[in-house]
A and B are shown apart, each in its own frame.
Chain A
Amino acid sequence: MCDKMATLAWNIRILRTKRYLLVTECINVGASSRNYLKSFTVSSREIPESNSSSLDAEEKSLIDSLRNVSRMSSNHLKQYHRQPPELPYKDIIHRKKLYALYGSASGEDARILWPSRKQLIDKELEEKEEGCSLFDRLAQIEVEKQERETALKERHKSVEKNMAQMSKWIEGYKKKQEVSANEAKARAAKKEALLEEARDYFGYKIMANDPKFEQMMLEKEEKEKKEAKKMRKEAKLKKQADRLVDSKEKPVESKNT
């Protein structure tokens, strides 16, 4: 092995020196380089031929390693040549990714790409439980559409019904407004009359918010109250008296009859 490596390294060194010589000579000679090129082609053909016959896998790999001047790490070099890297630890995610990127060369079983049977059946069950059939969902949409339409129809119906009564309601409203306006007018007239009375009493143009006028109004109110009370009392007495009269008259009448 050692001998072989030594010979190989020697051969490669020869090749390199030859190439170097050739390049230098080409530069030196210039136009007449064809002969040297010829000599190079001959020599370069000779050396690989002599090697390739005796090359085995080990030597090839050795040559490759010597040729590799990229200074990449072995894993990076492998990935560069589309070969799977050697990972110290691979979980299922790594293995899936390796298969996806490097295919069967990754050495993984393709079956790992799908979920396991248990996962699949669980998923299916979950979908069955969560899901609702398309037919039911379309029916639900139809029901909702119908509901919206009926609600709109009902609304239109109620609007039409109300519109039929509209003229009547407007008349009623106008009447109501008239009544309230009349009432306000009457109240204002009454107040004006009172003010006029007060002006006659005090002898000057008294305002409605004058304390004297207010006092007068209060007194008048009290007076009216008292009068009303008196009237009620009188009415009550009169009623009693009438009753007495009736009770006296009735027996007489009964005797008479």
Chain B
Amino acid sequence: MASKVTEKALNLIKSLPRVAISNVKDLPGTLYKKKTNRSAGRKKKGRGDKGQGARGTLDPLGYEGGQRPLIDAVPSEKYYGKYAIRRQYPPISLLEIQRLIDLNRVDVTRPIDVSSICNTRLYSLDVAKNHFGFNVTEEGCDLFASKVNLEVQWVTELVIAAIEKNGGTITTRYYDPQCLAALFDTQAFFEKGQPIPKCKLPPQDALAYYSDPNFRGYLADPEKILMAREKLAQKYGYKLPDLTDDPLKDLLLMRKDPLQIFYGLEPGWIVNLADKCILKPKDEDYLRYYSNVY
């Protein structure tokens, strides 16, 4: 029996392409003549006649001839500290959400989340710019008049009050960058053929927010959230609509699992757009991995 190495090598050779006209490369140096010895006839080498440029004695960058340079003259602004690694939440106001609803850009018969906002193609998120989702701002809180199930990433108390006053529900939910990219452009994600990732839990400095019932965090105790709803209604002086007899109760109480990023799809599944089918793993190891967070 041939050794493993030999077998692997043979398999590799089998899978490697045959030499053909399409994959034969030109010999190095045949396509263009490499320019060499450019400075043979040149004394100055493109650096001018004489002076600091020719001698390589230019002042260092930022040096202002001895006077205090700008970098020392301007005081450092610490509130911009660690800007590059901070989480960013691009804003979307309540007025804009109301407008999307009025123009039928989003469907209120389904829960509204990042992907439904991004699917309007009017708002975009960029993972490369440290975007972690939407921040719903207070503008238009008096005009907001829709009963929706909203799931966003950052809110204030007034926004929560505006939505709950109209009989809606709101959740703040953390998505890690990989999941957010999948939510932002779902088709591109499915065309990669990757299994749907399990969403990571928020980092330690964001965990306090996402487990706070006052901000309707998705990791908060549901009973505490109910209490916080009552409290907020009393604070802002509105009557909290009763959800028990509501015909839209199922819609309003629809929540994703903390690991789940798409409604109706579980982590580990693969959606194949060509075959129009969902591929699900059945192996125990895989099921265990995709349904647990450590």
Contacts and interface: CB of A to CB of B under 8 A. Distances in A.
State yes or no: do A and B come from one complex: yes
Interface of A: 82, 88-90, 96-97, 99-105, 110, 113-114, 117, 120-121, 123-124, 127-128, 130-131, 133-134, 137-138, 140-141
Interface stretch (B39-47, B168-176, B203-211, B237-245): B203-211
Given A96-B193, A120-B286, A137-B207, A88 B274 contact: no
Nearest to A129: B294
26 contacts: A82-B274, A88-B20, A88-B23, A89-B15, A89-B17, A97-B193, A99-B272, A100-B190, A100-B193, A100-B272, A100-B274, A101-B193, A101-B274, A103-B274, A104-B275, A105-B274, A110-B270, A110-B279, A117-B283, A127-B293, A127-B294, A128-B294, A131-B293, A138-B207, A141-B204, A141-B208
Chain A contact surface mostly: helix
Interface residues of B, number: 35
Given A82-B274, A117-B283, A138-B211, 4 more contacts: A89-B23, A105-B274, A127-B294, A134-B293
Nearest to A128: B294
A96 B289 CA distance: 21
A120 B279 contact: no
A123 B289 contact: yes
A120 B198 CA distance: 13
A117 B195 contact: no
Interface of B: 15-18, 20, 22-23, 190-195, 201, 204, 207-208, 211, 219, 268, 270, 272-275, 277, 279, 281, 283, 285-286, 288-289, 293-294
A103 B272 contact: yes
Contacts of A130: 294
Contact of A131 (B193, B272, B294): B294
Chain B contact surface mostly: loop
A54 B190 CA distance: 44
A124 B16 contact: no
A88 B207 contact: no
A161 to B, nearest CB: 32
A124 B289 CA distance: 7
Given A88-B18, A100-B192, A101-B191, A113 B294 contact: no
B15 A113 contact: no
B195 A89 contact: no
A28 to B, nearest CB: 50
B187 to A, nearest CB: 11
Contacts of A137: 201, 204, 207
Contacts of B273: 100
B15 A90 contact: yes
Contact of A134 (B16, B22, B191, B201): B201
The 10 residue pairs across chains A and B that have the minimum distance between CB atoms: A100-B193, A103-B274, A103-B275, A88-B17, A89-B17, A131-B294, A127-B294, A128-B294, A96-B193, A113-B193
